[in-house]
Structure 1
Amino acid sequence: MSSDNEQPEEPAASGPEQLALIRETVRKAKVPKAKPRTWRGAVLAKELPVARVLVNKGVLHLDQFFDYAVPEELDADARPGVRVRVRFGAGGHRVREGRREGGGLIDGFIVERRADTDYGGALAALAYVVSPEPVLSPEMLTLARAVADRYAGSLADVLQLAVPPRNGRAESKPSPEPLPLPDAPDAGTWQRYGRGPAFLSALAGGGVPRAVWTALPGPHWPDELARAVAATLASGRGALVVVPDGRRAARLDSALTALLGEGRHALLTAESGPEKRYRQWLAVRRGSVRAVVGTRAAMFAPVRDLGLVAVWDDGDSSLSDDNAPFPHVREVLELRATHDKCAFLLGSTSCTVEAAQLVESGWALPLTAARETVRQAAPLVRTVGDAELARDEAARAARLPSLAWQVVRDGLKTGPVLVQVPRRGYVPALACERCRATARCAHCAGPLQAPDQRDVSCRWCGRDAGDWHCPECGGTRLRARVVGARRTAEELGRAFPAVPVRTSGRDHVLDAVPGRPALVVSTPGAEPIAEGGYTAALLLDGWAMLGRPDLRAGEDALRRWIDAAALVRGQSEGGTVVVVAEPTLRPVQALVRWDPIGHAQRELAERAELGFPPVSRMAAVIGRTDVVGAFVAAAELPGDVEVLGPVPLPDPPAGRPRRPGDPPIGETWVRALLRVPPGSGAALATALKSAQASRLARGGTEQVRIRIDPLDLG
């Protein structure tokens, strides 16, 4: 490698000598009609002397390619897809113009070698090639551009998520030789699903089926996903599976190893460390490994001849990236399935509204088990409502209803019992005092709030709602749903002094527990696997999750309940779940019937009627009040857009570490929601991206954050 500082200095030429030098440079480059391109007298590459470079500047007004001259000594290494360093002045320069002098060095990728440039001035030369390893393929570049356009972001920002940082030691090691194709697996427990064996057969035969899979409760889903991957590999194609966290990735990794043996798949998780992760990523890009299991960043893994993309538990918020432009794994894999013409599998023990929409639109087919099979695999679910708690002396004394106490006592005779308790810090919501239906704005159907305990307004559009009345029962009085986790572990320890109590939560997450009698208290998402399954489970304080002022509160509560209940033994083995929540509420009834699909379908129908996502498309614009107002006014938004707000954003919770998206200390930020009907989402993203690029090009310094399809609308 050589940098520009190592190139020999030549005396400045002038007059006829300078003209002769220019002509000689053009002649050596063999570029017809090429404009003079020299840099400190460097000799250019003889063929294709121009490199089109994507510079790593994640700002929208520089979201384009820039042309650079290729010195002869870099010709062999400067191939499309490699990392390079180029000179680029602060704030950039004109379109496709490299900074001639004085600019700082910046990372970039060569996307193309060309014979000529359409820029009329002298080009800067590539400073040096960081590595001759091509890491950016044309397929990845196409995918990154599609993701950037969908989320109103820059191509450079997407590639920062897609291409891991370089590790020299990992790059210098050769990747293993590819293994022979495995045999197609048998259906195994896929037999329990009506179309399961046919789905595997289609994958093994080179087909491209698309399915939304509602998995049965129990421990079999990792093996079932592994069989889908094995069937795809047997067809000579690659497979990619993305899961929300490292614990589930480890389970799928073990299942694939048991089914196929070592060396046929790569595990891409943060727990692997930078060197091992990059070595595995290179093995995938080089074609040595054809299957990938990983967490969120693996959605961009460069799998060769991609035949299947799969995502598990798409409702988990971990699958939405926290870095601009905030892509979601489900949407990225949908784009890959479309562009690469490969199979698609969305699996979960629950069902999101987005999954239901994929089935309703016909884009994917449902992959489910018969109701009789579901009843056998699922535990018995019983409910305890508020009225029963009020009359229950045991509940008032120990915060444990008599029914729950009995279920725990019986379950501890043969194995461990799981107790799920909501996390602290849920935001209070307002509800009807009479029927407890969530209070929503009459104009936009957003959740209501009462910041000063008196004035009631909408969290979305900010309109006053002092004259609110309940559309369900006609009530006019509101109540606050106070939420928060209770000291459940200590209380259960006093109630069952002879039984060990284990806890699993954010600070300490257990992966597994033995099958011996014990109480396992866990927050949602941190439930450990029990050997042989839990004998029973308690889902406490259901009102805490259902009372969140968010569009997804019911869907998310049901998903977390089902995830926990799926770890309990089936009803045929005596498994029982007790949920402490109002029995008449829709998510509770869906849990009792074990019907997540029906719940998602009804939610989708209601959202279509009210104009909620995913039927509509939304974008959030966040920043200071004056900046957001000016930005929205200047943007050339689609004619059918509806602007909700802006409304002030709440301050970050006390004690929580500050995050990149938090407002500066002492400043109050607002959020405006932009809503468009179906078919206008792409136009909205294009308008917001164009407005942001124009603002930055004019020197705008005030921060404006844009998020397409925000997860939290509360």
Structure 2
Amino acid sequence: MSDLLSSLPDSEATFTATSRVVDSEVPLPVAQVILDVKVAHLDQMMDYLVPASLTQSAQIGAKVKVPLGASSKLGWIVGRSNRTSHGGALRPISAVVSQTPVLTPEILSLSQRLAQARVGTVAHILRSAIPGRHARTEKTVLSEGPVDFPSWQVPAGSTLSNYQRGAAFLQHLGAGEGPRALWPYLPSTVYTNEYQVPDYYLPVADAVQACLASGRSAIIVAPTAAVVEEIASFLELRLPDEPVSRLHQELSPAARYRSHLHALLGRTRVVVGTRNVVYSPLRKLGLIVLFDASDKRLVAQRSPYTPAHEVAALRAIENQAALLVAGLILPAWAQRWENQAWAFPLTAPRELVRRSVPRVEIPDDYLRLRDGASAYSRLPSSAYQVIKEGLISGPVLVHVERAGYIPALSCAQCFRPVKCDNCGGPVQGTYNGNRCANCGQPQQDFSCPSCSAKQIRSVRIGAERTAEEFGRSFPSVPITVSSANTRVIEKVNNKPRIVIATAHAAPRAEGGFAAAVILDPNVALNHPSADAAEQAVATWFEVAAKVRVDGTVMVAGEIPPEYGQPLIRWNPQLFTGWAYRQYEDANLAPAVWAATVLGSPRAVQRFAELVKEDEFSSFSSVYGPFPAIGEQADEAQRVLGESNPLVVHYSARRAEGFSAAGALRRARAVTSASDDDKLLVRVH
């Protein structure tokens, strides 16, 4: 359990100021409002006067429009009282945007905690938690009658019972308790159930049914809209007459707001959605399921970069609800929860594992000797043979690390990355020459600023270039590319073909792929990020899970045994435990609290000075400021428009993480009021 869970202040928020009484004929004439603004120095409750005309509609939780300076801002009423600490005259609320109290006390308290822990603002969190209002939808939903929910029993004979402690989890869940479990599920390519869905969906439905049997509601969080729709459609079949709501980014604004209102008003007990569904204001919350928990799409991609598992853990504690963390392989933070006995694993017996997974091969000395000179090529002869044999009986999956044609270029002499002359972004090779990946400008007449060399070389080979190469090697076989640069394909039939796919873009094959080859494994391992190995191995498990039981998975490259053995043995817990120990030894998150501050030189230096002067002085390490490189430099250019960014890293013991975040938050409140506010703060 993280510092966020162990070091939180009292959840009871007090909104009433005590300086002076406001005389008015309106009962409780002072409204405390949290503004919908992102700047940190305005992240506080502001007092406004409630006009007599808005006495009834200005309820706690309602969204309102209020004056701020010469402009108007939206905000949420979080309290009403007859006192204010403001010395001057209070300005009145301009209008009530929605009379429906869309902000519940639980979500407000949760947002305040997260804003403090993630060095963000309450408005940042609430924008994720509450969809934009849709007036016509609100009117329609409010006119609907009550819903009669069916009654359910705890399911008997669940497939979750095949996992150690699985039956106990369902039993405690059905009894109204809040067990917390970590479930590395087994792959499923041949559907043995009547619903024709992957077998690992069945235990999810059983857990939801057990939760409903206890008279409570459930949230299922999945990484993509496609998975959300698949799970929701299955639950509608498995739990007939039980309303199931959906919430994801591909729905219309009206549909998202309708789902939110149904949860808020008690019209549904089951909500399935992508990352932000974890905030859904369901009544009597009893279960949260995080599906494919290692997927990075479950972490917000904008400040304050809130991860869904942190929100889920807080809500599980607050509501005494159950928590089920599921995935082919679980992330390192789940290992920390297990080490602290905050959650327990549901593990499959080895005989069940052996019956459920394909054979995995990784080159050893014997295989390299047999391959001869091709052993150190991108596609060794043994991998070529796996593809050739697989094509006899069905489709073959080829995993590559990067999309595009030649996604990375460097100087041929000193290997310095080629940067755009116009914006400083990374340059990549395309069918139409070399172009900037950010601004799209063509790049000509390269001259290395370090060594003055004129020649460039390809550092990475992308999916489209790989498709060209495989087209020459297998001229009579259809080649399909599935990546973000082309299009992501959901399914393919069982006819022979080669599917070249990047991470999270591999389709499902009817009956499973006959074989799979993982190219360029060391490219993933050498990625300049602290969790490169964790993300690489998670992707390899995902690729292997799409291959049928009698198929073969070949890793086309030499990798260290700590990465390869968990895959060969299909023991994801082995790798997760090893990865967490590596984080501990290196003093990195998630073993410790850590934060990164990125921005313009002036803003970062000012921020670092403020943190140094803060009352909190127990950082275990402070690195920087120093020039940002790689993805951090690209992010600063893309988000902040800063071409010469600096970065500073902070770390502290987990027990002091909340206090450390407070120091950064106080510094952020000062810098946000300055002219140069080019800063991004990310807590890891």
The worse-fitting range, judged by mean Cα deviation, of 578-587 and 176-185 is: 176-185
Indicate the residue corresponding to 1:123 in structure 2: 90
- Residue pair 1:398, 1:495 contacting (<8 A) in 2 also: no
The answer to whether structure 1 residue 210 and structure 2 residue 180 are counterparts is yes
Q: Which runs of 4+ in 1 moved over 6 A?
A: 425-429, 651-654
Matches within 5 A, 1:153-164: 153-164=120-131
Give the aligned residue type for 1:607.
Y
Change (3 A) 1:621 1:335: same
Displacement after TM superposition at 1:500 (Å): 2.3
Deviation at 1:389, TM superposition (A): 6.3
Amino acid of the residue matched to residue 185 of structure 2?
A
Deviation larger for 300-309 or 111-120: 111-120
Distance 1:348 1:631 in 2: 38
- Equivalent pair of 1:481/1:547 in contact (CA under 8 Å): no
Q: Mark the CA change 1:247 to 1:163 in structure 2 (over 3 Å): closer, same or farther.
A: same
The equivalent of 1:606 in structure 2 is 582
Q: 1:505 aligns with which of 442, 462, 483?
A: 483
Moved more, 635-644 or 544-553: 635-644
Structure 2 CA distance for partners of 1:489 and 1:150, relative to 1, 3 Å: same
In the alignment, the residues of structure 2 paired with residue 428 and residue 612 of structure 1 have an alpha-carbon distance, to the nearest angstrom, of 30
**Alignment correspondent of 1:705:** 680
Equivalent position SS for 1:146: helix
How far 1:74 sits from its partner (Å)? 1.1
The Cα shift of 1:234 comes to 1.7
Which amino acid in the other structure matches residue 503 of structure 1?
V
Matches within 5 A, 1:635-654: 635=611, 636=614, 637-650=616-629
**Matched position secondary structure for 2:534:** helix
Shift of 1:212: 0.8
1:344 aligns with 2:323: yes
Other structure's SS at 1:680 match:
helix
Change in Cα spacing, 1:329 to 1:671, as seen in structure 2 (3 Å) is same
Deviation at 1:683, TM superposition (A): 1.2
CA distance 1:176–1:354, shift in 2 (3 Å):
farther
Gaps of 5+ in 2: 1-17, 189-197, 419-456
The within-5 A match list for 1:534-545 is 534-545=513-524
Name the structure 2 match of 1:413. 392
| Shift in Å, 1:361 | 0.9
Q: Is the 8 A contact 1:157 1:324 kept in 2?
A: yes
1:192 maps to 162
| Partners of 2:54 and 2:205 in 1: CA distance | 44
Does the 8 Å contact 1:212/1:346 carry over to 2? yes
Q: Which one of 665, 668, 684 corresponds to residue 692 of structure 1?
A: 668
Pairwise mapping of residues 21-32 of structure 1 onto structure 2 (< 5 A)? none
**Given the alignment, which residue of 463, 473, 481 partners 1:495?**
473
Q: Is the 8 A contact 2:619 2:650 kept in 1?
A: no
Shift in Å, 1:264: 2.0
User: Are 1:110 and 2:77 matched, yes or no?
Assistant: yes
2:582 maps to a residue whose letter is E
Contact 2:118 2:305 (C-alpha < 8 Å) held by counterparts:
yes
CA contact (8 A) 2:378 2:556 kept: no
Work out the CA distance in 2 between the residues paired with 1:584 and 1:642.
30
Whole-Å Cα distance in 2 between the matches of residues 416 and 653 of structure 1? 38
Contact 1:223/1:252 (<8 A) preserved: no
User: Any idea what the Cα deviations from partners look like across 1:650-680, whole Å, max 9, x if unmatched?
Assistant: 36799x9x88853426x30011101112312
Q: Contact conserved, 1:85 with 1:106, CA < 8 A, in 2?
A: yes
- Cα separation, 2, equivalents of 1:622 and 1:291: 39
1:148 paired with 2:99, answer no
* Residues 1:64 and 2:26 aligned together: no
Determine if the alignment matches structure 1 residue 376 to structure 2 residue 345: no
Q: Which moved more, 1:382-391 or 1:332-341?
A: 382-391
TM-score (norm 2): 0.83
1:243 pairs with 2:222: yes
Give 1:245 deviation, angstroms: 1.1
Amino acid at match of 1:623: G
Partner of 1:561: 540
> Match of 1:271, as an amino acid?
E
User: 2:563 and 2:541 mapped to 1: Cα distance?
Assistant: 10
Q: CA deviation at 1:49?
A: 2.0
2:248 is the counterpart of 1:269: yes
Q: Distance in 2 between matches of 1:140 and 1:452?
A: 45
DSSP 3-state at the match of 1:499: coil
Deviation, structure 1 residue 50: 2.0
Residue 85 of structure 1 aligns with an amino acid whose one-letter code is K
Counterpart for residue 146 of structure 2 = 177
Deviations 1:142-176, CA, capped at 9 Å, x for gaps = 11111111101111111111111111121111256
CA distance in 2, matches of 1:564, 1:343: 30
When residues 508 and 589 of structure 1 are mapped into structure 2, their CA distance, relative to the original with a 3 A threshold, is same
Whether the 8 Å contact between 1:534 and 1:569 is mirrored in structure 2 is yes
In structure 1, which of residues 618, 624, 627 is the aligned counterpart of residue 600 of structure 2? 624
Matched residue, 1:662: 639
| Structure 2 CA distance for partners of 1:503 and 1:115, relative to 1, 3 Å | same
Task: Give the corresponding residue for 2:422.
Answer: none
Partner of 2:504: 525
Distance 2:96 2:111 in 1: 22
Specify the alignment match of 1:460 in structure 2: none
Alpha-carbon RMSD:
2.9
Larger-Rg structure? 1
Conservation of the 8 A alpha-carbon contact between 2:524 and 2:536: yes
The 3 A distance-change label for structure 1 pair 659 and 621 is closer
Q: Which has the higher contact order (CA 8 A, sep 6+)?
A: 2
Aligned-partner residue type, residue 606 of structure 1: Q
Q: Aligned ranges for residues 282-301 of structure 1 at < 5 Å?
A: 282-301=261-280
The residue aligned with 1:549 is 528
Name the residue aligned to 1:679. Answer: 655
Per-residue deviation, 1:702 = 3.3
Range with greater deviation from structure 2 (350-359 or 400-409): 400-409
Q: Tell me, yes or no, if structure 1 residue 595 matches structure 2 residue 548.
A: no
Question: How many aligned positions are there?
Answer: 607
CA distance in 2: counterparts of 1:226 and 1:57, whole angstroms: 39
The answer on whether the counterparts of 1:386 and 1:581 sit within 8 Å (CA) in structure 2 is no
How far apart in 2 are the matches of 1:164 and 1:348?
28
Residues 293-313 of structure 1 deviation map (CA, whole Å, 9 limit, x = unaligned): 111121211111110112122
> 3-state SS of the aligned residue for 2:250?
helix
Distance in 1 (alpha carbons) for counterparts of 2:385 and 2:565:
22
What secondary structure sits across from 1:618 in the alignment?
A: strand
Compared CA separation, residues 676 and 181, structure 1 to 2 (3 A): same
Task: Say which SS state the counterpart of residue 679 (structure 1) adopts.
Answer: helix
Contact 2:155 2:210 in 1 (8 A): yes
